[in-house]
Chains A and B, each alone.
Chain A
Amino acid sequence: GAVVSQHPSWVICKSGTSVKIECRSLDFQATTMFWYRQFPKQSLMLMATSNEGSKATYEQGVEKDKFLINHASLTLSTLTVTSAHPEDSSFYICSATTGGGALGAFFGQGTRLTVV
């Protein structure tokens, strides 16, 4: 199947700093990418939907200025957690699709963010 790669797989950062997570579709062009957040033993919560070349659509309650999403090309989307705090520590997962939604979406392996 198609491959979606996230980088880094894990990152530890100091409180107050910013962290960038990359999501790449390696063998297909992703029109749409989704960013999720998952707390331990919980479900995936959609944070935002990004379409190549346009602004991301954020879910209710997700701070746009804190979680900056850029989808500059059909194979790369980035999530930047700005001024990270310990409560931002979580597992962040992206998915990518050639369409606009769930059908044919492939997930990345996730990024474990720990803010100390």
Chain B
Amino acid sequence: QQQVKQSPQSLIVQKGGISIINCAYENTAFDYFPWYQQFPGKGPALLIAIRPDVSEKKEGRFTISFNKSAKQFSLHIMDSQPGDSATYFCAASGNFGNEKLTFGTGTRLTIIP
């Protein structure tokens, strides 16, 4: 019940295209859903996060879509750039983010020219 399932495992997108990564969770107590970006040999960095009281959150080229009834959320990267090539992790936490994070399995994104 603590799992967060993430797909796809890897993704190749052409420059300028839209990258979409999906996550699903089971624990209905989760109420904070962040996305992290990790470059090789570095720690993760918070990209964007959402709470279940909204269905969408946008920050620049990054958008989270959230479907509470389906217990799914996704990251959309618009106008994908080579600099976006990294591993992306979705995560979830409960108690308004005051609990530990449960991470998804990660998606390795490659943006090709």
B-contacting residues of A (Cβ < 8 Å)? 1, 4, 6, 34, 41-44, 46, 49, 91, 93, 95, 99-110, 112
**B41: which A residues are within 8 A, CB to CB?**
91, 110, 112
**A101: which B residues are within 8 A, CB to CB?**
93, 95, 97-101
Return 8 A-B CB contacts under 8 Å, by A number: A41-B108, A100-B99, A101-B99, A101-B100, A102-B34, A103-B32, A110-B42, A110-B43
Tell me if A44 and B100 are in contact (CB < 8 A). Answer: no
**A43: which B residues are within 8 A, CB to CB?**
89, 103-106
| Other contacts beyond A101-B99, A102-B32: 8, CB < 8 A | A44-B103, A91-B41, A99-B98, A101-B97, A103-B96, A103-B97, A107-B45, A110-B42
Bound-state Cα–Cα, A106 to B43, Å: 9
Per DSSP, are chain B's interface residues mostly helix, strand or loop, or mixed? mixed
Bound-state Cα–Cα, A42 to B89, Å: 10
Nearest-Cβ distance from residue A57 to partner chain B, whole angstroms: 9
Tell me if A102 and B97 are in contact (CB < 8 A). Answer: yes
Tell me if A102 and B101 are in contact (CB < 8 A). Answer: yes
**B105: which A residues are within 8 A, CB to CB?**
42-43
Partner of B93, one of A102, A108, A110, A112: A102
Tell me if A93 and B44 are in contact (CB < 8 A). Answer: yes
Tell me if A102 and B91 are in contact (CB < 8 A). Answer: yes
Bound-state Cα–Cα, A4 to B101, Å: 17
